[in-house]
Amino acid sequence: MITMEHVNKTYSGGVRAAADLCLTVPSGEIFGFLGPNGAGKTTAIKMITGILQPDSGVIKANGIDIAKNPLEAKKQIGFVPDNPNMFLRLQGIEYLNFMADIYDVPLDERKERISELCSRFEMEDVLRDSLQSYSHGMRQKIILIGVLLHQPSVWVLDEPMTGLDPRSSFLLKTMMREHVENGRTLFFSTHVLDVAEKICDRLAIINKGRILFTGTIDEMREHLRKDASLESMFLELTDNEE
């Protein structure tokens, strides 16, 4: 479970990227975070994962306050950033070993997880190559594998679908579903509305640092009193805002 209470963040340039954010992401559901470019999705995710410190407010992962007990909170989370271009000079296997060391995954468990995940994502053949030689999608896959090694109970993904081929994207969606079916938490941002409509159990819409709506798609239809597609509701919600 993730909770954000009255979280504010203003960048040094003066942009208010989070305005009194209150959000509860329950476990056992796929939670989508939607909003136009520059809405503040990445900013919120960065505060949840401990990259940015909010100006005010409280953020907890599984009840652990990220500000008070950062290491414990970070261990709960598996984070997939929007940009997979990292650790490019490492070989795939070196990266996986590094992540497992940092998240303190026991040896037997990591052997099992690495071979299982790599075969699911069809990455066994390239483990000895440097990430530099991977394609965009392959980089995304290896990062995903690294994040899943410690079986995080809270999984946070920033724009995970872009760049994946249909098979990998289907695989990811399956894994996301499996993840929440085990009673764990999943929070991801996207602006691909088709994906959101299909897989999200619940979603939040954010624009200009403010949360405009939280709930299921059906609740959104009730809220707007119309039976429309997510796309037209999204456009309406983010457009009216001035």
Partner 1 sequence: MKNKTLVLTRAMLKNGGGLGFSLKSKWSWALLVLLVVWSIPVVLYGYVQMIAFAYQSLAMIGQEGVLLSWGLVISSFMVFFFGIFHVLSSFYFANDIEHYLPMPIRPRQIVGAKFFVIVLYEYLLIAFVFLPILIFFGIQQGCGVLYYVYGLIGLIFVPILPLALATLLVMLIMRVTNLTRYRELLKIIGGTVAILLGISISLLMQRFADVTPEQISELLLSGNHSLAILQTRVFPTVKWAVQALLNYEIAAGLTNLLVFAGLSGLLFAALLFLAELVYFKGVIGISESSSRRYAVRKGSLDRLVKKRSAIISYLLLEIRLLIRTPVYFLNCVLSNFLWPLILIFSFVVAPSDGDVSGLLGYAKGAINDPGLAGIALGIILAVFAFMSGSNGVAATAISREGQDLYIKHYLPISYRDQIVAKLLSSVVVGYSGVVSLTVPLAVLFGVPLYFTVITLALAFLPLALTSMSGLLLDLLNPKLEWDSEQKAVKQNLNVVFNILFSTVLAGIMVAVTVKLRLNLAWTLVVLPLLLLAACIGLYRLLVTYGVSSFRALEG
Ligand X SMILES: Nc1ncnc2c1ncn2[C@@H]1O[C@H](COP(=O)(O)OP(=O)(O)OP(=O)(O)O)[C@@H](O)[C@H]1O
Instruction: Show the binding pattern over residues 108-147: x = contacts partner 1 (CB under 8 A), - = does not.
Output: --xx--xx--x-----xxxxxxx-xx--------------
- Decide: is 10 part of the binding site for partner 1 (CB under 8 A): no
Place of tokens 């990062």: 143
Type of residue found at 77 = I
The residue among 26 and 70 lying less far from partner 1, judged by its C-beta, is 70
Q: Name the residue nearer to ligand X (CB basis): 78 or 209.
A: 209
Cβ 119 to partner 1 shortest distance, Å: 10
Half-sphere exposure of 201 (CA within 13 A, CB side): 15
Under the binding rule (CB under 6 A), the answer on residue 11 touching ligand X is yes
Give yes or no for a contact between 156 and 184, defined as CB atoms under 8 angstroms apart. Answer: no
195 binds partner 1 (CB under 8 A): no
The C-alpha atoms of residue 138 and residue 206 are separated, in whole angstroms, by 30
Under 8 Å between Cβ of 98 and 86: no
Size of the site for partner 1 (CB under 8 A): 43
- Contact status: 42 vs Mg ion (CB under 5 A): yes
Q: How far is the CB of 53 from ligand X (least distance, A)?
A: 13
What residues contact 119, with CB distance under 8 A and at least 6 apart? none
Tokens of 170: 């289907």
Task: Give the contacts of 191 (CB within 8 A, at least 6 positions apart).
Answer: 34, 35, 36, 37, 159
Residue 146 or 158: the one with the smaller Cβ distance to ligand X is: 158
Nearer to partner 1, 98 or 170 (CB): 98
Nearer to ligand X, 92 or 209 (CB): 209
- Strand positions, DSSP E, 154-239: 154-158, 185-190, 202-207, 210-215
Give the binding site for partner 1 (CB under 8 A): 46, 49-53, 70-72, 74-75, 77, 79, 81, 86, 89-90, 93-94, 96-98, 100-104, 106-107, 110-111, 114-115, 118, 124-130, 132-133
